[in-house]
Amino acid sequence: MKKLLCSVSLCLTAAVSTLAQVKPFRQHDRVIFVGNSITEAGAYVSYIYLYYMTHFPNRKLVIMNGGIGGDKAADIYRRLDYDILAKKPGVLVLTFGMNDTGYFEFNGDDAEKTAKERIAASRRSYEQIEQRLLKLPGVQTILMSSPPYDETAKIKGNYFKGKHKAMEEIVAFQEAAAKQHNWPFVDLFRPMTDLNNHLQQKDTAFTMIGPDRIHPGNAGHLVMASLFLKSQGLSGQPVADVRIDAGSGKLQRATNCKITGLSAVAGKVTFNYLAGSLPFPIDTVARVWGNEQKQADALSWIPFMEEFNREMVTVAGLPAGEYNLLIDGHRIGKWSAAALAAGVNLATQTETPQYRQALSIMQLNMRRAETESRLRRYYWVQGNFFDKKQLLLKDNAAALDSVRKYAQTDGMLRYHEENYETAMYKELRTAWLQEIDTIVDLVYRLNKPVSHKIEIVKI
């Protein structure tokens, strides 16, 4: 498995190494990810935010979801001002392409002609977005490709031959546009396609995307988040790295942490440990409807722990034997002297106090995302219904009557109807925004690492 992850890491690194590096987000940045239902689902956006919350606990920033299900570039352009720019972002990450290329059109007799027309329409709409963004020098634009449509999985349903190739053409013009304007470009499409194909060599029914070939599950979203973080140059930054020579009783390395009170006597090493970061907590629950993937599944596909989640404690020079590792008096696990000399990644240990602290941050981040999703559903109604009925942002009795009328025959509108009946009131939307701010403020109060006493005791 380790050999497989290493080869995958080299593949993904090669896929992103030629791209302009995206600057890591800074203190007080306001970042918005703009896209379709994959973005609206929000998992990869939340994972990126959670990485910053845990890895940079003193770098307070705002990351917002700007996705709407079903959107093409043309839809994004129509809502750019009233939905996206109204949130005053300083960084805008723009992705599109899945819906632009169409679906059932690929099963028609003139599929190639239709695909070309849709790609051309997508380019024209993108150029409208581009011209708008070029007039906003205060907004840093990052173009990001769509994750791929899985055309190769040997599964039933949603098979649209040629859609993947059409999406490749959109990725190509996105990348060319980014280079033309010296904008960063993040490629999800090609490396995820390569990884998916690699994993399908062992199981032709495997899909990193999901059973509908379109919407990644939680594991696919972690792959997306890792590629984005890698494009920011964040791969390899440890949670912490402690190296001790028990034989001499000396500290050899303390990266992103402070070590005090080090003591090394026969069969026992103790020290006080204050990390600069928290480990990234791994979710073990499938949270994307219709997709059984769990975030943890991705750990067997990509070397996420090695690249983004290393909280290493290495103790060399211990006498041979087995040792208990305790944190604040609680036994975390048992390792041999050889294993401790090779290094133990505490981020893999879910019972450490710092991991439990990180889990609370993960839960708060999920509550934040849930509140934000009510706002995204409100904007779905605006963009997918009211904009076509000349009722955009009216939010009056006539608008509500229209929703109730058409929801009787429109299943997607019916799904959004109840949320809209609440969200139509500006005062409640303001309250939701305040709730999000309250949660984020709480995160940045609770995400500060604290000092722990580590003991390594021979059994």
User: pLDDT tens digits, residue range 130-149?
Assistant: 999 999 999 999 999 999 99
Domains observed in the chain: 2-231 (3.40.50.1110), 240-275+310-459 (no CATH)
As to burial, measured by CB atoms within 10 angstroms (0-12 exposed, 13-18 middle, 19+ buried), residue 371 is middle
Percent pLDDT > 90 in the chain is 93
Strands 344-345 and 311-316 turn out to be: antiparallel
pLDDT, tens digit (0-9, with 9 covering 90-100), for 293-318:
999 999 999 999 999 999 999 999 99
227 vs 168: CA distance, rounded Å: 18
Q: Dihedral sign for Cα 209, 212, 214, 217, please.
A: negative
pLDDT, tens digit (0-9, with 9 covering 90-100), for 365-378:
999 999 999 999 99
Mean local confidence (pLDDT), 250-269:
96
Looking at the DSSP bridge assignments, the partners of residue 335 are 323
Mean local confidence (pLDDT), 152-179:
96
pLDDT > 70? residue 3: no
Mean local confidence (pLDDT), 400-407:
97
* CA-based nearest residue to 309, from 275, 339, 274: 275
247 vs 316: CA distance, rounded Å: 7
Angle, in degrees to the nearest 10, between helices 218-231 and 43-55: 50
Could you tell me the pLDDT band of residue 174, with boundaries at 50, 70 and 90?
very high
pLDDT, tens digit (0-9, with 9 covering 90-100), for 205-249:
999 999 999 999 999 999 999 999 999 999 999 999 999 999 999
Mean local confidence (pLDDT), 376-398:
96
Provide the whole-model pTM.
0.95
Residues 6+ apart with CB under 8 A from 107: 160, 161
Helix-strand-coil percent breakdown of the chain, rounded to 5?
A: 50, 20, 35
Residue-level pLDDT at 66: 98
Cα angle 393, 398, 404; round to 5: 100
pLDDT > 80? residue 177: yes
Residues 6+ apart with CB under 8 A from 70: 36, 37, 99, 384, 412
Residue-level pLDDT at 10: 47
Mean local confidence (pLDDT), 35-61:
97
Instruction: Report the half-sphere exposure of 54 (CA within 13 A, side-chain side).
Output: 31
Residue-level pLDDT at 12: 56
Residue-level pLDDT at 290: 87
Looking at the DSSP bridge assignments, the partners of residue 31 are 63, 91
As to burial, measured by CB atoms within 10 angstroms (0-12 exposed, 13-18 middle, 19+ buried), residue 298 is buried
